[in-house]
Homo-oligomer: A and B are copies of this chain.
Amino acid sequence: MAIEIINTGSELMIGRVLNTHHQWLCAQLDELGYTVHRQVSVSDESSAIVDAVQESLSRSNAVILTGGLGPTSDDLTRGLIAKLFHRRTLVHEPTLEHIRNYFQSRGREIPFKCEIQAQYPEGALVIANDFGTAPGLLIELEHNPFNSSGEKALLIMLPGPPRELRPMFRDRVIPLLKEKLPNHQKHASITLKTACVGESLIEMEIAPKLEELVHQGLQIGYCARVGEVDLRLSAFGDSAEEIVRIAEKLSRDTLGDKIYTEHDEKLCDIVVRLLRQRGQTVGTAESCTGGFISNQLTNVPGASEVFLGSCITYSNESKVILLGVDPQSLKLHGAVSEKVASEMASGLRERLGVDYAISATGIAGPGGGSEDKPVGTVFVSLSSAGGTQTHKLFYPYDRESFKLSVAQFALDWLRRTLNGI
């Protein structure tokens, strides 16, 4: 089952936007056991799009095409595909109705040309868009005209905006794929996510133990991002499930609580869930992270049950005013110190009455470092009824990676604490 992805958009070819569809779709398809053989990006030019579609169809059973379904003049996909397969363009009444309702419910006029999005190539399946106006389209080709085998093929067109594409793919396209392109080869995979451990350390611990399974077909992938490493175990064939199951057990025995999940969830999701289960609350007192941890926690739906509030205190004065940090501590130890980190966390915990308070104070850079406290130095505290503890860490990275590293450390610390590890 060979699938190819084509991302259209001139903005992609001049580097104005990051292609997040590629990663997201590949991860979704991999989860389902489909292999993406190639991903292609082309600009919004008729010939580039048509060439790419023909070439991808010549090599695969299914092509997923993103973008080019909007209402503006550079949205060409709908018409080009109709022409390529010699199909008439029809108007899909329910979509027209949906577009009208969409704008009416927002008290807005239907913008210029927006109704063009209700058009579709004859015979295509129209896939409803719950979060926007351009529907997706699916064309089932009984005989792939671009592949000498002449086999059946699917062409799926999805709207460009991620907040429209993602729910559409998850809720509507996956069931269609499973129905129309069933995956007969057995496949098993699991991704074990770890936080705050290095990639080579994980490989050093894991690789020797899994060597035997690799000979039996186990595939191991390490994927390192800032503050975390995913360990992916997968296999194809009849014994795939058994191989992955044993590999998982060996990995868990070796890595223990370094593994924080095997699901598609983040540390903040887990922390919010654990707090909800225990009926406890959290807040943050952030200097160098500038609200990053607070923002992460409040990205989780339902966070309001457990997250009460935060103080982002960038200046010395704000640390005193909002958190009650002792001005003497600032004077004697400096804002970036164990003492101040500790007072920030306990101060927040008292003021807001939260069960757990996380604080962070450090030097994100690029400026502000000294020999004593170089850029990357950071103190993280965790305050609870049991007392306040502080760790000194060193993350000499760019500002955003620095913030992310600190947040990963703090959230993982809270996760372990909540798990009683």
Contact = CB atoms under 8 A, between A and B. Distances in A.
Interface stretch (A119-127, A170-178, A236-244, A391-399): A391-399
A290 B312 CA distance: 11
A354 to B, nearest CB: 9
A131 interface: yes
A48 interface: yes
A385 interface: no
A24 interface: yes
A329 interface: no
A77 to B, nearest CB: 15
Interface string A283-311: 11010011111110111011110011111
A176 to B, nearest CB: 20
B200 A72 contact: yes
A292 B74 CA distance: 32
A89 interface: no
Interface stretch (A138-146, A253-261, A317-325): A317-325
Contact of A394 (B28, B106, B114, B284): B106
Interface stretch (A30-38, A147-155, A413-421): A30-38
A224 interface: yes
B42 A11 contact: no
A351 B401 CA distance: 31
Interface string A4-24: 000001111111111110111
A302 B364 CA distance: 10
B298 A290 contact: yes
Interface string A170-189: 00000000000000000001
Contact of A322 (B12, B24, B37, B309): B309
Interface in A357-381: 364-368
Interface stretch (A78-86, A90-98, A201-209): A201-209
B298 A295 contact: no
A197 to B, nearest CB: 11
15 contacts: A13-B39, A15-B26, A71-B200, A74-B222, A111-B198, A112-B203, A113-B200, A114-B200, A283-B318, A291-B310, A298-B403, A309-B313, A309-B315, A310-B310, A310-B311
Interface of A: 9-20, 22-30, 35-44, 48, 52, 55, 70-74, 106, 111-114, 131, 161, 163, 189, 191, 198-201, 203-204, 207, 219-226, 230, 232, 283-284, 286, 289-295, 297-299, 301-304, 307-315, 317-318, 321-322, 351-353, 364-368, 394, 397-401, 403
